[in-house]
Amino acid sequence: MKRGALIGYGFIGEQGHARGYTQSNDLGIDAVVDTHPARREKAAQALPGVAIFDSAESFFESELSKRLAFVDICTPPATHAPLARAALQRGLHVLCEKPITTRAADADELVALARKSGRVFYPSHNYTHAPVLKRVQGLLDEGALGDIHMATLSTFRSTHARGVPEWRPDWRREPEISGGGILMDHGSHTFYVAFAWMGAYPTKVSARMLRSAHAPGGSATDDDVACELTFPSGIVRCHLTWRAGNRKVIYTIHGSGGGLRVEDDKLELSLRFGTPGSYRWETREESVASHWMSASHEAWFTSVFGDFARAMRERDLVPETARDAIACMRVIEACYRSASEEGRAIAVDCSA
């Protein structure tokens, strides 16, 4: 079992990652880093025997850091690039929460550094590990829907995800910390899922967004985003909002052989048979427990950790999830640019 350090003991670090490690057969945590005294105290209580550090610098300078294999970065987005850079330079593998950076140029730099240092850079793209989306990917891999030409992905949230009360609980509304609003917070989840379903990266994007005047402090971040991604084989439309009346994900996929709809844990599959003019349809419904209502998605992390362990074991330094993460950042940047230009279509190159 490879051992590592958890950097950042906020909501997702505590409720998602730390709990996931207690259930993992592949990875374990020997150190926790957090700058806030109350969070360090909580970590010490929850994880007895784990070394506690008050800064990343003190951890990186410690003898313990030299004996560990990886770091797991669960801090706000603006800190991801410097922390990942420091870890890779010291010979540590990196697991990093999304978005991996707040700029595509920083993501490119980290991937180049991972290759140079011979260490894995692995983004935590946990939506692909949700059981219902694993089921969807299995159906696509089997060719159940034929050639995919359209998809829609809607993520409804009634507000931004609040952080822990001890430290800036509304940091997602502070662009200098978060990098942006819901597009930066949830865009990666939406886009890497879309890449997998379409089997490619988009070549063009357009977007529009709104900012709420009723957000805490008068939000300077985007609350409501609608965007369209053009792929070589079709179109994907996405809607992300922090202003919904409920919490829900609704996805649809459409192909030459049928379509499907995901609403949280429910999956409706419609298969088409016959020829034009005499089509017949077979529809069935499934329920795949995925616990979408849990904001921490703790049940998904053992699968994430298993694939990260595989990447370290096989020296898969820049796995597909890392390439997807770079593409996500390029699409996010293009969406912000498009929205600033009244929704003008922006060409995007995700191939590099």
**pLDDT score recorded for residue 218:** 52
What strand order describes the sheet that includes 93-97? 51-53, 27-33, 2-7, 70-73, 93-97, 121-124
Q: C-alpha distances in angstroms, 20 versus 3, 126, 295, 301? A: 14, 12, 14, 5
Any residues with CB less than 8 A from the CB of 328 and at least 6 apart, and which?
98, 99, 187, 188, 191, 192
Q: What is the CA radius of gyration of the chain?
A: 20
Confidence grade of residue 260 (pLDDT, cut at 50, 70, 90): very high
Average pLDDT over residues 281-304: 93
Side-by-side strand order, sheet with 234-241: 280-287, 266-273, 258-263, 248-255, 148-156, 234-241, 224-231, 204-210, 346-347
Percentage of the chain beyond pLDDT 70 is 98
Q: ∠26-328-336 over CA atoms, to 5°? A: 145
Residue 220: pLDDT band (50, 70, 90) is: confident
Tell me the C-alpha distance between 162 and 344, whole Å: 32
Q: Are 240 and 225 in contact (CB under 8 A)?
A: yes
Distance of alpha carbon 343 from alpha carbon 341, whole angstroms: 6
**Lowest mean per-residue pLDDT among 155-159, 170-174, 211-215:** 211-215
| pLDDT beyond 60 at 304 | yes
pLDDT at 215: 53
User: pLDDT digit string (tens) for 142-165?
Assistant: 999 999 999 999 999 999 999 999
Residues 221-246: b if buried by 16+ CB within 10 A, e if exposed: bbbbbbbbbbbeebbbebbbbbebee
If one compares 212 and 19, the residue with the highest pLDDT of the two is 19
Identify the pLDDT of residue 71: 98
What pLDDT shows up at residue 219? Answer: 57
Range 126-151 average pLDDT? 98
Model pLDDT, residue 274: 86
Instruction: Supply 273's token pair.
Output: 């048979």
Q: In the chain, what are the domains?
A: 2-125+300-318 (3.40.50.720), 128-293+327-347 (3.30.360.10)
**Residue among 64, 66, 14 at smallest CA distance from 41:** 14
Average predicted confidence (pLDDT) for the chain: 96
Percent of the chain with pLDDT over 90: 92
Give the number of other CB atoms < 10 A from CB of residue 200. Answer: 17
Assign 352 a pLDDT band (cuts: 50, 70, 90): low
3-state secondary structure string, 88-127? HHCCCEEEEECCCCCCHHHHHHHHHHHHHHCCCEEEECHH
The three-state DSSP-derived secondary structure of 202-259 is CCEEEEEEECCCCCCCCCCCCCEEEEEEEECCEEEEEEEECCCCCCEEEEEEEECCEE
282 vs 86, 109, 269, CA distance in Å? 54, 49, 8
- Looking at residue 300, its pLDDT comes to 96
CA distances (Å), origin 208, targets 37, 39, 183: 41, 38, 11
Please give the biggest Cα pair distance in the chain: 72
Q: Are strands 70-73 and 2-7 parallel, antiparallel or unpaired?
A: parallel
pTM: 0.96
Model pLDDT, residue 337: 98
pLDDT at res. 245: 96
What are the pLDDT digits (tens) for 241-258?
Answer: 999 999 999 999 999 999
Q: What is the DSSP string of 47-104?
A: STT-EEESSHHHHHTSHHHHH--EEEE-S-GGGHHHHHHHHHHTT-EEEEESSS-SSH
Cβ-based neighbours of 234, under 8 Å, separated by 6 or more = 148, 149, 150, 151, 198
User: How far apart are alpha carbons 81 and 123 in whole angstroms?
Assistant: 12
**pLDDT higher than threshold 80 for residue 212:** no
Distance CA(341)–CA(345), nearest Å, equals 9
Mean pLDDT for 74-97 is 98
What local confidence, expressed as pLDDT, does residue 342 receive?
96
